[in-house]
Structure 1
């Protein structure tokens, strides 16, 4: 079946646009995770962190002097749609995270989707770990939200250490 030239061009342009958008979104998420692609299953961070944390959670708490309690902070990060924020509420007990809640605050549909996925998977990766040992890179396919989460964690560390 032969299509007129203008329809072929429109079809090609539409396909290129879809690929470009997909690549841009995928590149942003993948480039932040870099070598963390296997970390999507959290194999790398989980295998390193629990060993250190299970051996030294009290030492980290004593060194840093974090006060027990519930802390809240907003972290920000850049994404293809602009700037986004994510709200983090974290409960500390002896320098160890006993509870965490991430509240998506993005207004952009794609960002909100990634934040929601991140919020659904973050507790499994951080509860029971030392606050000092946290360095989240990717959760449930979302690496950009992790940047905002880590920003909020830095604020919480400063507040809990005061």
Structure 2
């Protein structure tokens, strides 16, 4: 398990770049098809929405595959829920190469939860270029049949 993150007086993780999250570590971004899949009439297909790679409520939630595996759990089974039927993956180095921070932020029910934060002082904002870089760096972890990543 990763060492605890820095926390503010209210117990919230302070946006940080966690040194124990290694460059090659796989980060898993869960997909809710209602919010993250859109029709693309220009290409006559369904694809992932750019909304998938936007922070919400502070940062962008991801799961840290290595810690799930170290606990002896199946990451596919762990991230798949009735709401999140699919997922994409990217390496921590891809987020950092886009000038984003990757930090550990365990939450109730998910000790493998991490956040991807924007640069200080706007941890809750990614630029369009950062969102595109993440989308370009990701591949399917749990695919949705008939849906294109980009």
The two structures have a TM-score, normalised by structure 2, of 0.25
More helix as a share of residues: 1
The two structures have a TM-score, normalised by structure 1, of 0.24
Q: Which has the larger radius of gyration?
A: 1
More strand as a share of residues: 2
